[in-house]
């Protein structure tokens, strides 16, 4: 029983960690709290619905393409003209982009919730040392591990990663030293699009449905997880998402039946306690500049 709970905790925690990375990446470089990130996740999920009659990997590739394209377009059309604006203006712009994307999808291709039949292989399960492990959990862990590990390698071992880290430290100084600001920011949005697509793929597999409003919950989870771990620190953001997901499963498994409905109240009360003790997050990074 305990091992089963641990497996479920790690599975959901990895999913939540993935949600936090895309949000923390953009905040670290631009100081941008991108409230349109949930809609990028929704776009990726919509691609899975659009290609539901094709092999699963075709829909997954389409989800990545759709999410990256839309993410880069939002940067080019909405955020680049406001790059030197103050943080409040950027935040309002991200709200506007979020509402615009959601409204367009609601008025066109997603006027109501659409079902996505589960892939048969994802619903299979196996018993390992008495623990029931589903193929979906394995795919989730592998996907999250590959993406988080790949991002870590990119940040540490590639010229683009060096530029991303330099921009996160001080964007103006990085530009004066030869870092191409527009390219770095566009790359950050593209990477965030990949993370959003992966999140959308996992959410569709877990929920079996797509809607124009589906991005709100993962957005809030991603923001809370990133704040708990440390908004301007990618490792901290991933840790915050992991702990948030693990805490969700743990409470669901241990709370009495009549209190399960109040799971989120207990969870976010614990979050508030953590933030009172450590308001900068568990692994705080340096304060980023927003211009």
- Asked whether the beta carbons of 44 and 50 are under 8 A apart, the reply is no
- The DSSP line for 190-244 is HHHHHHHHHHHHHHHHHH-EE-TTTTHHHHHHHHHHHHHH-TT-HHHHHHHHHHH
pLDDT of residue 197: 95
State how far the Cα of 31 lies from the Cα of 15, in Å rounded to an integer.
24
pLDDT of residue 191: 93
pLDDT of residue 133: 83
Angle formed at CA 94 by CA 82 and CA 152, multiple of 5 degrees: 90
- Asked whether the beta carbons of 45 and 203 are under 8 A apart, the reply is yes
Domain borders along the chain are 18-215
For residue 194, give the nearest of 25, 11, 12, 33 by alpha carbon.
25
* pTM for the full predicted model: 0.90
pLDDT of residue 286: 44
pLDDT of residue 257: 87
3-state secondary structure of 114: strand
Tens of each residue's pLDDT in the chain, 291 residues:
788 888 888 888 888 988 898 888 888 777 778 899 999 999 999 999 999 989 999 999 999 999 999 999 999 998 888 877 887 888 899 999 999 999 999 999 989 999 998 888 888 888 877 788 888 888 888 888 898 888 889 888 898 888 888 877 777 787 787 888 788 889 999 999 999 999 999 999 988 899 999 999 999 999 999 999 888 778 888 899 999 999 999 998 898 888 888 998 999 999 999 888 888 888 865 443 333
pLDDT of residue 288: 38
């Amino acid at each position: 029983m305990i091992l089963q709970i641990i497996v479920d905790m790690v599975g959901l925690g990895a999913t939540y960690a993935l949600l936090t990375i895309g949000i923390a990446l953009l905040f670290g470089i631009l100081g941008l709290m991108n409230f349109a990130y949930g809609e990028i996740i929704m776009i990726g999920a919509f691609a899975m619905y659009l290609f539901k009659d094709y092999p699963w990997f075709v829909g997954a590739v389409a989800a990545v393409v759709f999410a990256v394209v839309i993410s880069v377009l939002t940067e080019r059309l909405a955020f680049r003209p406001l790059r030197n604006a103050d943080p409040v203006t950027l935040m309002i712009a991200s709200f506007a982009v979020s509402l615009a994307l959601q409204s367009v999808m609601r008025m066109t291709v997603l006027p109501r919730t659409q079902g996505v039949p589960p892939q048969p292989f994802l619903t299979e399960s196996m018993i390992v040392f008495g623990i029931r492990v589903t193929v979906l959990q394995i795919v989730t862990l592998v996907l999250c591990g590959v993406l988080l590990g790949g991002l870590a390698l990119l940040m540490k071992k590639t010229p683009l990663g060096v530029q991303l880290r330099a921009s996160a430290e001080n964007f103006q100084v990085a530009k004066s030293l030869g870092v191409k600001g527009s390219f770095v920011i566009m790359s950050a949005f593209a990477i965030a699009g990949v993370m959003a697509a992966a999140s959308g793929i996992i959410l569709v597999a877990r929920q079996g449905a797509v809607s124009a409003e589906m991005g709100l919950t993962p957005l809030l989870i991603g923001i809370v997880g990133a704040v708990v771990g440390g908004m301007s620190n990618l490792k901290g953001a991933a840790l915050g998402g992991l702990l948030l997901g693990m805490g969700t499963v743990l409470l669901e498994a241990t709370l009495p039946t009549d209190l399960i409905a109040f799971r989120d109240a207990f969870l976010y009360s614990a979050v508030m306690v953590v933030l009172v003790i450590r308001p900068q997050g568990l692994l705080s990074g340096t304060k980023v500049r927003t211009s």
